[in-house]
Copies of this chain bind each other. A is one copy, B any other.
C-alpha cells in the first residue's frame, strides 16, 4: 500500500466523466494497483477511484502540463472495461509505502440470512399450524425465502427482509403470482416478514392481498438459544 499526499487534479472517464480541480488530497494505491482519491470529508466513498483489476502507469506530462506545474502523471486503466483515471500531480508532500500482509477478513453477524434461518425454525411466528416446506425455494424468477404449508392445504410464500419496503412487496407479488399458477400449491398466500415495515409498503401489501409480519430479532435469537434466555 502506498500513501501519497499531493496537490493533484484528476479526470475520470468511463460510464460517466468526472473531474477534480487541483487541490491537496490523499492518493491511496493498493497492492493490486487500485487507486482511491480521498479528501478530508465526504464519507467512506472516495472522490475518485479505480477498482481492480487495473494497472497504474506513470506518464510524462505534456509540455503544456509541465508549463502549468504538473510534475507527474499517473494513469490508471481498468483491464476489463475502458474506464480510465488520469491523475495530474503538481507537488508531493508525503509518500509512504508499506506492506500490510494478509487480511484475515471481516466477520459479520445479524444480517438477513440469519433472520431467515431463525424464522425457518420458528415458522409459527408467521401463523398457527404452519410447517416449513423449503427455504430458498427455487422458481424461474428467483428463490422464495420460505415456502410453508398451511394446515388447510394451501401454501404460504414468505419474503424475509430486514426492512420491509416497496421493493419487497413487488418481489413478493411476483412470486405469489407465479406460484398461484401451480395447482399443487394453490391457494397461495404471501407474507412479508421484516423487523420493520414502512407504511407505504404496508398499504401496498394490503392492496395486493399480502400479509405483513413484524419480527423481533432479539426475541427470535433468544428463542433460538435457550442459554441466552432471560427467564
Instruction: Point out residues on A near B: beta carbons under 8 Å.
Output: 1, 3, 5, 15-26, 28, 30-32, 34, 36, 38-41, 43-49, 51-52, 93-94, 96, 98-111, 162, 167, 170
**Complex contact A108–B40 (CB within 8 A):** no
**Complex contact B31–A41 (CB within 8 A):** yes
**Complex contact A16–B110 (CB within 8 A):** yes
Partner of A96, one of B31, B43, B94, B109: B94
**Complex contact A100–B23 (CB within 8 A):** yes
Kindly report how many copies of this chain are found in the complex they form together: 2
**Complex contact A15–B110 (CB within 8 A):** yes
Say whether, besides A47-B106, A49-B44, A106-B48, A100 and B39 are in contact (CB < 8 Å). Answer: yes
When C-beta atoms are compared, the residue in chain B nearest to A47 turns out to be: B106
Say whether, besides A31-B41, A41-B103, A46-B44, A110 and B17 are in contact (CB < 8 Å). Answer: yes
Say whether, besides A1-B40, A40-B31, A45-B44, A24 and B101 are in contact (CB < 8 Å). Answer: yes
Partner of A107, one of B19, B36, B43, B51: B19
Say whether, besides A98-B5, A170-B170, A43 and B34 are in contact (CB < 8 Å). Answer: yes
**Complex contact B44–A106 (CB within 8 A):** no
CB distance from A100 to the nearest CB of B (A): 4
**Complex contact A109–B17 (CB within 8 A):** yes
Say whether, besides A109-B17, A170-B170, A43 and B48 are in contact (CB < 8 Å). Answer: no
| Chain B residue contacts of A24, Cβ below 8 A | 99-101
When C-beta atoms are compared, the residue in chain B nearest to A21 turns out to be: B104
| Chain B residue contacts of A105, Cβ below 8 A | 20
